[in-house]
Structure 1
Amino acid sequence: MDIRECYEKMGASYDDVLQRMGSDALVERFTGSFLSDGSYQMIADGIEAKDAETAFRGAHTLKGVCLNLGFQKLYEVSAELTEALRDRELKGYEEQFAAVQKQYQITVEAIREWQQEQN
């Protein structure tokens, strides 16, 4: 699997991110570094601790990271979760968080598969 196929598997547009970043090497570097991004865990930790502010900051950060990396599907669901948490209350966010969890898994699995095939 090459990086383009990785993007296709996660439902993202490689051409869009390549145009924005300018080189395959940059796309590959930043895509690989996504696995160490802590924003998804921040959402989960905030929800578990009943800390809406932390969950909101995590969702907002994840949304921005996904926008920059061209992870369109994860961006869309994280944007919806960000809006559900905007009032800093943990009410009515469950459906959006479930969608983020699902798409996050798809994204991470695609990146891991791509990385394994690079080694």
Structure 2
Amino acid sequence: MNLKDCYIKFGGDFDEVLGRLRREQTIQKFVYKFLDDKSFLLFEASMRNKDYAEALRAVHTLKGICQNLSFTRLFESSSLVTKALKENDWKQAGDMMPQLSKDYYEIVQAIEELKSSEGE
């Protein structure tokens, strides 16, 4: 699997991020760093603890990362959750968590597959 295939797999826009970051090596570096980002895990924990201010901060951070890396599908789901939390609609935000989680873990899995394919 190459980087462009990885983007296709998780619903990202490779051409857009390439236009912004210019080099595949740069994109790949930041894509790999995404695996170390704790925003999603902090969001989940904050929602469980009903700390909605912290959940908003975390999902907003995730949304920004996704926008910068053109992770389109995850950007869209994190944008919807961000909007719900800004409007204090905790129920709607909670109802959208399964989709957000699915989108997040699809990206993580695709990136891990990309990393493992490099060693082959």
The verdict on a shared fold, with TM-score over 0.5 as the criterion, is yes
SS in 2 for 1:91: helix
Instruction: Please report how far the alpha carbon of residue 13 of structure 1 lies from its aligned counterpart in structure 2 after TM superposition.
Output: 1.2
Amino acid at match of 2:41: Q
Identity of aligned residues (%): 34
Summarize deviations over 1:30-74 as a string: whole Å, max 9, x none.
000000011101111101111001111111000000000010000
Between 5-14 and 88-97, report the one with greater CA deviation.
Answer: 88-97
Summarize deviations over 1:73-116 as a string: whole Å, max 9, x none.
00000000001111456332122211100100111110000011
SS in 1 for 2:113: helix
Amino acid at match of 2:76: E
Between 13-22 and 93-102, report the one with greater CA deviation.
Answer: 93-102
Q: 1:78 is matched with which residue?
A: 78
Amino acid at match of 1:108: V
- 1:106 is the counterpart of 2:79: no
Give the structure-2-normalised TM-score.
0.94
Q: How many equivalent residue pairs?
A: 119
Q: Which runs of 4+ in 1 moved over 6 A?
A: none
**5+ residue gaps, structure 1:** none
**5+ residue gaps, structure 2:** none
Cα RMSD (Å)? 1.1
